[in-house]
Amino acid sequence: MRILVAGGAGFIGSAYVRYRLENHPGDEVRVLDKLTYAGRRENLEGLERCELVIGDIADREAVAAAIEGCDAVVNFAAESHVDRSIESPGEFIQTDVFGTYVLLEAARDAGIRHLQISTDEVYGSIEEGSFTESSPLDPSSPYSASKAGGDLLVSAFQHTYGADALIVRASNNYGPRQYPEKLIPLCILNALAGDPLPVYGDGRQVRNWLWVEDFAAAIDLVLERGQAGEVYNVGGPDERENIEVVRRIVELTGADESLITFVKDRPGHDRRYSLSSAKTEALGWRAQVGFDEGIERAVAWYRENEGWWGPIRSGEYREYYERQYGTRLA
């Protein structure tokens, strides 16, 4: 079997590529990736039976060429950081909505399955309890709105054309190879360098943390066993307030807690996310890594892999960081 993995050079996409190749020795993976700032060749280094094609999912010709000979499409390709969506919403609409449409058309023409990777943020914020797959969509940011738009196209293609299309929505992922604009890798690297640890607002926002390799296993199960037209939520086993996460990183890195710096909150910042995974668990999935174990593994990986993250903390990332937080990295 040959799988086209769109966005497979990014954080979650590359974790899935590794999982697929390790658990399906006869399979091949073709990665289609634009290699923007968060998509990196290094994330696929050393992988056999993996072909990288550089291209944009919004480019019909590139997609048509990449999908040829493939048996399924898994779409991770997305502009994915809320802060950047507030700066440049048009880029998110182009990739997350129009790009998804292009992939759906190509998969329909080829007669193959399209699995859309989405986010809990499409549901908005929830004060108590957990979102299920039947919860209404209520996105709060240009990012989550663009992802919701892509999801609605997937559902529409299934209902209108009978496309073999379905959706997986995940809670906050963390783990190796995550670009350091996100809370956990940003704070780990800043703590190791002695830089401030920026925390939005009062830091009491609650997230449902999911180890990326657990999510990769869930994606693979849904690809194999999920039903067309369905949505499958995948939530992490533990909830933590952001400030709890940052303080644990301080402990694990040996940094000084005085580095924690509360900054102006993000516009429209959702207070709490939580997903029920009952439907995905009914397929046979269970999270294997709790947050306490996962955060230790994450800190250890970044501590041991400066060769991966060192080049990132320069150039465009430094400029973005200064714009976002009003301070320079050391």
* Active-site residue list: 120-121, 143
d(CA 109, CA 111): 6
d(CA 84, CA 190): 20
Inter-axis angle of helices 242-253 and 291-304, nearest 10: 50
Reading the block at residue 321, the tokens are 């960081």
CA 306 to chain centre: 22
Reading the block at residue 267, the tokens are 């516009």
Reading the block at residue 188, the tokens are 């780990």
CA 35 to chain centre: 15
d(CA 74, CA 78): 12
d(CA 276, CA 214): 15
Question: How wide is the angle at C-alpha 147 spanned by C-alphas 8 and 134, nearest 5°?
Answer: 115
Enter the DSSP assignment of 303: H
- Answer yes or no: are the C-beta atoms of 297 and 252 closer than 8 Å: no
